[in-house]
Structure 1
Amino acid sequence: MPVLPAHDVSPYDCPALIARRGVSSVLTEDGEILSLARAETLALLARSAPPLLVHGPATMRQLDCAIPAPPAPWLDLLELFLFLHPARNVAPTPLGLALALDVPPPVTLEADFLHMLLNVMFQDLERRSGGTDGDAMRALLPALSRAGWAWAPALGERLGPARMESLHPLEAVRVWRRLPKWEEVAPRPQPGSQRVTQAEARARLGEILGSNAEARPGQADFASVATAAFEPRAEFGSPHVVLAEAGTGTGKTLGYVAPSSLWAERNGGAVWISTYTKHLQRQIEQELTRLHPDEATRRRAVVVRKGRENYLCLLNMEDAVNTAASRGEMAAPNVISLALLARWAEATRDGDLMGGDLPGWFGELFGSGTVFGMADRRGECIHGACPHYQRCFVEHTIRRARDADLVVANHALVMTQAAWASLSKDDVPEEDTTPTRYVFDEGHHLPDAADSAFAVALSGLETAELRRWLLGAEGSRSRARGLRRRLEDLVAFAPGLEAPLDAVLQAARALPAPGWLGRLHDPATPSPTQDEIENPTERLLRALEVQTRARHVSARSGGMQTARKKGDAECDLHPVDPAVAEAAETLLRALKRLHEPLETLTKRLTHQLSEDQETLDSAMRGRIEALVRSLRRRAISRVAGWTGLLEATQIPLEPDTRPVHIDFIRSESIAARGVRGDEHDIGLHRHWLDPTVPFAAIMQAPAHGLLITSATLRDQTRDTPDEATHETAWDAAEERLGATHFPAPAIRASLISPFDYAHQTRAYVVDDLPRDDIAVLASAYRSLFLAAHGGALGLFTAISRLRAVHKRIVEPLEVAGLPLYAQHVDAMDNATLVDIFRTEIDSCLLGTDAMRDGVDVPGDALRMVVFERTPWPRPDILHRERRLYLSHGAPKEYDDRLTRMKLRQAFGRLIRKSSDYGVFVMLDRRMPSRLFSAFPEGVTVRRMGLNETLGDISEFLQERTLRSTDAQSLS
């Protein structure tokens, strides 16, 4: 599509466009609705005013056009919606907009429907133009007009000029000057220990559900079981641990919310509800509207907590706005995104950029770099020294969480907070009050979360990041201040900090210098010898690469080169190559020279807290405490972990000894991080053999009760229902989840799913497809999705195969009226993709692990799940060692157990309520029958050829559709 000039014309005089592969719908400037092929559509648009559309980048992809640089040469209704409703998410499609605006959509959406959506939004604009919100919109228009925003002329005509002309058009974008300040309050007393009875939990559940809720027989039983996690603790270090497996459809979220909310209200403490991903946090938050329908009450009682890197940093935004002001018109596209981000910042509940109330498509419309650049993703927060500290979204959220009843967090944050609380000093308290009651939803992911939380990586990126945090930007254009800038006024106040600070900054030069990646991996640069690399970290990285190249075992010919194309290569650390051992010893000495002054600096800062109690105001005290925490977390703990890893290179492994840790070398592609695709990072990695050991260790002291729940805690097979097998399955679950590391025995409970899977589902294994023919695989996906008429979720075990299949089937599906979306292809977050999939009933979605677990899409929007391969565990070094030591001599059964649980999770996406129906298809003919027990009781797995499967699926889905239609007619 050609880049069109910006015209100051009425949106009603512009053509309207709903683009589709094949035939698009166009409303011409003369009011004629046309159905045009791609070439005709482009020809019409080339001679017209900018079109009115929904989601410009997606529209361009439908027309196979390059996406022009902003400001966009079209009138995107999503941008107008964002301006009017800045903190409301919406599926970014015409139907999604219609539902958000409460406009009944026609059966077939044609381009003239966009004018109806435009009318509704302009009417809304007129209603709000007279109030304070109208003033806020008017104030932003001068900046948006100068930046060339397509909607500015039409909005200016309807809103009129600002009532008070600002001194500078960007003044309205400086939102940090207008946001409310938080204020310190007295600390919350320790919570009580009053119990919640089962009868009380059931009564609270009834209040939440109301009289018209769908009956779920096991939900009240689940609420009763959950109360055991809220019993008073009898002994220090021995929390109550409840393992509650709740089959899909039990209603476990509200089941645990009932006793959790009662306990919090009764005892004046917070219950932390933890789940695996940010998307699942959002789902739980939405469920909590049932508990607190009133928004003001819910804001007081419920807080969502994430890591700092998820929130808008006002100092980053100030820097971006000042940069835009200094560059003038050159920064015009950036001004549009900053102005709309400022509009959102005044409306947001908590400033959450990543999965919060900033629409997930914002980055696709205005550049993902804008969103990521506004967050503190490098740990550069200066806390109390920041001029916006008392308006900071992160600090406000932390303080709200201290007084909340329910805090919705994720496993990674919970483990990090608990770990730091266990190591923190009394004179430097943690940011968050340590809770005593925890609910771990999606508990089957606890081992994975613990594995990530307690792993150590000494890699090029990790070490270079620490150098940047300590020394600052070192000449690059960045606001990275470095440690000296953060401490300069404190050094003047306490001269004793000067010497250790200088020593830290000098020792930090042992870490990789800027440009290290190109020096080590640029194929155009001759490889230097180890003697030529003076930097000790870079010398070690080079030695690690040589050892990995020599020892990596590739599944295909080509050795290391093949592995690099796949972005992954690894080898055992032991036996250690002499060059690696020598380089590691040199770096070990350098890191000890860094660790010592870091400890000294931290101790002297802590000393200031005790020595100057009378002279330090609360702001300065808070700033010093934050600096101490930052030094411990970002520097001291990292260096200590790296030191332990390097010491392991000097000690040979003892044969036939069960290790505590697994140490290995890994090379990974970093193309996904914005670096050239042919470059990779390399480093030493250390993982716990059993990561639930440190998890249990950090949770024993603070926790009084833990509820661990999921639909798949056990590998409970249906083929052997005897009591001994049930006990064995529970024993394996306790070991995998770490329950055996707690002193008190876990309480076990299982509630079966209420669904009639035999009548609601069918399951197939297609047995006539070749394994490695991507064209045949794509053809199978296309045929299956067409047979289901959409509403299909395709799951993949490899991103490369997902992308290859998407490329081959996107056009034929969309020509047939079935829109196709894909994780790792569409530049939208997972939550937005699921929103679209849920809204567009006949759409299809491709995804990997994140779509396999925890996605809740009830109703007709999901009626087929297709898995491309049996999801065996990845055969890497970590799995090899755990399979060896944690399988109790049955490694094949260990693999099967992990695989069955993935299959159970995938099948669980299919049926979310009693009226749902659907089919599950596995395209891997090698899937063994022993894995069929992963599916629920009543599900018969049928092995068929593709054509026979397609016929059976069509018959089943048509029959269920007719039944559903008849039931709706009778009702």
Structure 2
Amino acid sequence: MPILPPLPALVAGHGRAVILGTDGVVAPLKLGTVARQLGQDAALVVHGPVTLKRLGNPSIHLLDLLELFAFVCPAQTLAPTPAGLARALEMDVPQSLDSAALALSEMAEALLTRLAAGKDTPANRDAPGLAARMGEFGWGWAPYVLAALGQPHARPDGMAMRLGKRLPKWEEVAPRPPPSSFPVTSAQARARLATLLGPGAEQRPAQADFASAATEAFAPRLIEGSPHVVIAEAGTGTGKTLGYLAPASLWAEQNKGAVWVSTYTRHLQRQIEQEASRLPGALKVVLRKGRENYLCLLNFEDASGVERYATPLGLIARWAMASADGDLFGGDLPGWFAELFGGGLLAQIADRRGECIHAACPHFSTCVIERVVRDARQADLVIANHALVMAQAVWGGLDDDYVPTRYVFDEGHHIFDAADSAFSVELSGAAMAELRRWLLGAEGTRSRARGLARRLEDLAATDDTTKKHVEAALKAARALPAPMFSTRLDPELEPDNNPAEALLRALREQLRARAKENELNGAVGFEGDLHPLNPDILPAAQTLSRALAELRAPLEALREHMLDRLETDPELEESVRQRLEGIARGLKRRGMDPLAAWMRILDGLGNEPAPGQRPARIEFLRLDREAGTDRDIALLSHMLDPTEAFIQSIAIPAHGLLITSATLRDGSDNETAWENAKARTGAVHLATPAIRAAFESPFDYADRTRIVLISDVNTQDIGQLAGAYQALFQAAGGGGLGLFTAISRLKAVQARIAPKLEEAGIPLYAQHVDAMDNATLVDIFRAEEHSCLLGTDAMRDGVDIPGNALRLVVFERTPWPRPDILHRTRRTHLSHGAPKDYDDAIVRLRLRQAFGRLIRRADDRGVFVLLDKQVPSRLFSAFPEHAPIIRSGLAEAITGIRRFLTQQE
């Protein structure tokens, strides 16, 4: 059994840290003394970046057990704390900092023992050479890992890094024929649902009714351009995932076609994938994301030559051989990996938008992205996300120009926001500079970006037409902002002949001239109206538009040349054909389409709208700042109602859509509520009315919940606000989710209450404070039942934490919408009544989403607290009808919460 030598261990909390010395004694640790107490020793820790941050970022040597876990257990994850690691290793969970420090060495030995037990398995065939290579470049765990593998003197071997040689090859298969159109009956859907649930499952009548209603989305289309659209609100606990998977899987099975299920959050994608594991084994289910989420073997190969990346890329090599799909973001690579080594590395080794060279890549036949694309083409159920589905609508199809005919949009209340993002246009220095980088490459920087000439050099070498068009495009691309353009935004600098930078300077000058004093002196960016234009903007825009047209022309000619070769040369090898198709697709999506959109904006600047006129698009300016320094200026163009584009580009070409969520309706009466649901989802723009269905939550909110409105806390006083959070979290004994509308207030509260809560045995984690991403924070919060979590919007939506781990939700104030230019224009022109009705609907949706985090199953019990004594009663309809609403002072609320959660009430 591999034994570690005596090693010190560090565990840091908020305001307190401990060190286990090599003598086995645990002692308190004071900030500023860590380096002196450790000397040259390397200390065992769990999550080095978090530990260092809590210790004041001392310069010390660490042995992070998460790195060892990633090597020993690739493509597995855990909550990255000592308690989370103990659970993963089935050990006693430490209950204090002292016990955690004592346990770290035992955890390390358990991991090394597990590695030793599997040293002769195929998965560890290349492990000794890889560990030796990582050790050669400074990985502290290498000698212990090599000893556990029984090869302490193994020589470094780069074979394990050659993923293109080690991963299995994919094979081409014939395209699927178009699906048939047989309907799914209500009885069939109910029967399939019963099969999926199994004989001993809890009976949910609303779930079966939901499955029955969903079948209407799978009926044969009767009229061209008139899809069957079902909008269904299914309250929390209805079981809507299996409710729609039942008819969707039946339709896919009997029609030999694919149903695309789309979500807003990555978390729900994975959750649906887990639920889909109950489907019949013959059905193929594939989770699909945009290409930029997946490992690119060519970029990995390029990065593997960088010495400082030896450790993280060695761990990536281990992960890639065990990964289900090569998804770097939200897949089976732990979310804390990027926290340990920096998210920039993952972005470097992922597919960069539009840079793939397809069949010209030496790793094409083992490419994980191409494998996922081909798997999705043959799938019966594709679990995608709104961003990808909207993007394919913008592009007119996926990688093979495939457009689905049947969709399920879960988290349907986010369709408006997803469409707003997909169908908006940003003309900014960063966006234009990124296109320049895509065309010209690194331009002398340390980046390894390949320009267009390098990506097509083999084709240009034997084809003068390709060479001519590439050269013309590269010459014209110099009209786009050059590297470090942000240092040249000041108009007082000597102007150059770059038309893009000239427009950026003119836009910046107008925005700053019309800004408020506090905006100009602030550390963050701000927005401003575009119209009326300063006199020098229109000439600069016209000059840039002409320059962009000169760039678009050779790109279009190059694309036409690629398509012409495909059409006129039937003897092209399949790999060459795929290459040409990929080039043509990339030129359009990455170059021609954005150029055309920017030119439309620039050419339309002279059409100044009249005051109060209803616009088709909302155009405004945004200044991006960093630490009080101007970094970029953006001209933004959004559709007034982006769901129009969603209906035109996705719904109308389809045959059927189901749009569902727990929060679709809002209104004082049933008809108003449905009108608002139709407006939010775009169903109002359908030629044929959508089918409507609603299913109430089965939970007993009257018995299982309380809604408390605190009337005596001044939330403008950070001291009072922090004191309220601390008292409420302690009353609940942890399990509290604190939601904030401003990051600055979250940070201020966290700094005041974290040490005090930790003394009370309640660990506090916080978004924007801890060196962890949102998914990691939620994983820890879910696993540690007595912890608390502070967060903003991302924690309000899509977080599923059933059970006692979440028993209290505290909202610091009524979540009114941010009064920006987009909201100002939409509340004026999209509200069906008074503008305040538009605001109220947004607030009620946010409150419903926040409240919905609390009760996820029938035996959950929880309290929702709103620290706003001025919340108007017209917002109370956001909450379930029978949930008790109590107005009280803080002291009374604390007593009531403690009694309710301990079931003394």
Q: Does 1:315 align with 2:298?
A: yes
- Aligned-pair identity in percent equals 55
Q: 1:885 aligns with which of 815, 829, 840?
A: 829
Do structure 1's residue 572 and structure 2's residue 529 form an aligned pair?
yes
In 2, Cα distance between equivalents of 1:281 and 1:183: 26
Residue in structure 1 matched with residue 467 of structure 2 by the alignment = 498
Letter in 1 for 2:389: V
Q: Which residue of 1 aligns with 2:663?
A: 712
Structure 1 position 558 matched with structure 2 position 518? yes
| AA matched with 1:604 | H
Q: How does 1:561-960 map to 2 (within 5 A)?
A: 561-562=521-522, 565=523, 567-614=524-571, 616-654=572-610, 657-669=613-625, 671=626, 678-716=629-667, 725-959=669-903
Distance 2:353 2:30 in 1: 44
Deviates more, 1:746-755 or 1:700-709: 700-709
Corresponding residue for 2:181? 193
- Which consecutive unaligned segments of at least 5 residues does structure 1 have? 1-8, 325-330, 423-428, 964-971
CA contact (8 A) 1:570 1:667 kept: yes
Say if 2:82 and 2:100, in contact at 8 Å, map to a contact too.
no
Q: What is the CA-CA distance between 1:925 and the residue it aligns to?
A: 2.4
Alpha carbons of structure 1 residues 559 and 27: separation in structure 2 relative to 1, 3 Å: closer
Contact 2:126 2:159 in 1 (8 A): no
1:58 alignment counterpart: 50
1:458–1:683 CA contact under 8 A, matched in 2: yes
Instruction: Verify the 8 A CA contact 2:69 2:111 in the aligned structure 1.
Output: yes
Preserved contact between residue 729 and residue 736 of structure 2 (Cα < 8 Å): yes
TM-score normalised according to structure 2 size: 0.95
Alignment match, 1:135: 125
What is the alpha-carbon distance in structure 1 between the residues aligned to residue 353 and residue 759 of structure 2?
44
Q: Is the 8 A contact 1:20 1:815 kept in 2?
A: no
Q: How far does residue 502 in structure 1 lie from its aligned partner after superposition?
A: 2.3
Where do 1:218-297 residues align within 5 Å? 218-291=206-279, 297=281
What's 2:452 paired with?
A: 483
CA drift at 1:655: 5.3
- Deviation, structure 1 residue 283: 2.2
User: SS at the partner of 1:112?
Assistant: helix
Residue 3 of structure 1 corresponds to none
* Structure 2: tracts of 5 or more residues without a match: none
The worse-fitting range, judged by mean Cα deviation, of 893-902 and 23-32 is 23-32
Matches within 5 A, 1:442-457: 442-457=411-426
Find 1:431's aligned residue among 375, 400, 422.
400
Following the alignment from structure 2 to structure 1, what is the Cα–Cα distance between the partners of residues 23 and 399?
65
Given the alignment of the two structures, is residue 111 of structure 1 paired with residue 105 of structure 2, yes or no?
A: no
Alignment partners' CA distance in 2, 1:768 and 1:858: 31
- Give the SS at the match of 1:955: helix
Alignment of 1:354 onto 2:311: no
Select the residue among 67, 72, 75 that pairs with 1:87: 75
| Structure 1 equivalent of residue 505 of structure 2 | 542
Whether the aligned pair in 2 keeps the contact of 1:22 and 1:37 (CA below 8 Å) is: no
Change (3 A) 1:377 1:219: same
Check whether the contact 2:519–2:525 (CA below 8 A) recurs between aligned residues. Answer: no
Once residues 32 and 834 of structure 2 are traced to their aligned partners in structure 1, the CA distance between those partners, rounded to angstroms, is 64
Which residue does 1:157 correspond to in 2?
147
User: Match of 1:659, as an amino acid?
Assistant: P
Please say if residues 3 and 109 of structure 2, whose CA atoms lie closer than 8 Å, have aligned partners that are also in contact.
no
Contact 1:45 1:51 in 2 (8 A): no
Q: Quote the offset at 1:115 in angstroms.
A: 4.3
Q: TM-score, normalised by structure 1?
A: 0.89
CA contact (8 A) 1:472 1:482 kept: yes
- Choose the corresponding residue for 1:77, options 44, 60, 65: 65
Tell me the distance in 2 between the aligned counterparts of 1:794 and 1:691.
Answer: 32
Q: Which of 420, 433, 439 is the equivalent residue of 1:464?
A: 433
C-alpha distance 107-215 of structure 1, shift in aligned 2 (>3 A)? farther
1:215 paired residue number: 203
Tell me, yes or no, if the aligned pair for 1:57 and 1:67 is still in contact at 8 Å. Answer: no
- How far apart are 1:243 and its partner, in Å? 0.4
| Deviation larger for 846-855 or 803-812 | 803-812
Offset, 1:658? 2.3
* Aligned partner of residue 303 in structure 1, secondary structure: strand
Contact 1:22 1:815 in 2 (8 A): no
Could you give the per-residue CA deviations for residues 121-168 of structure 1, whole angstroms, max 9, x where no partner exists? Answer: 2332222112212322222121122122222111211212399x77x6
What is the 5 A alignment of 1:333-372?
333-372=308-347
Distance 1:819 1:678, change over 3 A: farther
Contact persistence 1:900–1:934 (CA under 8 A): yes
2:13 corresponds to? 20
Give aligned pairs, total: 902
Structure 2 Cα separation of the partners of residues 586 and 747 of structure 1: 50
What's the CA shift for 1:957? 1.8
Structure 2 counterpart of 1:425: none
How big is the alpha-carbon RMSD for the aligned residues of Structure 1 and Structure 2?
A: 2.3
Deviations 1:199-239 (A, max 9, x none): 22112112222233333331111111111111111122111
CA distance 1:188–1:947, shift in 2 (3 Å): same
Cα distance between partner residues in 1 of 2:389 and 2:15: 49
Deviation at 1:492, TM superposition (A): 3.1
Secondary structure of 1:576 counterpart: coil
1: CA distance, partners of 2:328 / 2:528:
38
Q: Distance in 2 between matches of 1:686 and 1:106?
A: 53
Partner of 1:528: 493
Task: Give the conservation status (yes or no) of the 8 Å contact 2:339–2:771.
Answer: yes
TM-fit CA distance, 1:17: 4.2
Counterpart CA distance in 1 for 2:35 and 2:484 is 47
Whole-angstrom distance in 2 between the partners of 1:606 and 1:449: 32
Change (3 A) 1:558 1:142: same
Q: Would the aligned equivalents of 1:12 and 1:115 in 2 still touch at CA under 8 Å?
A: no
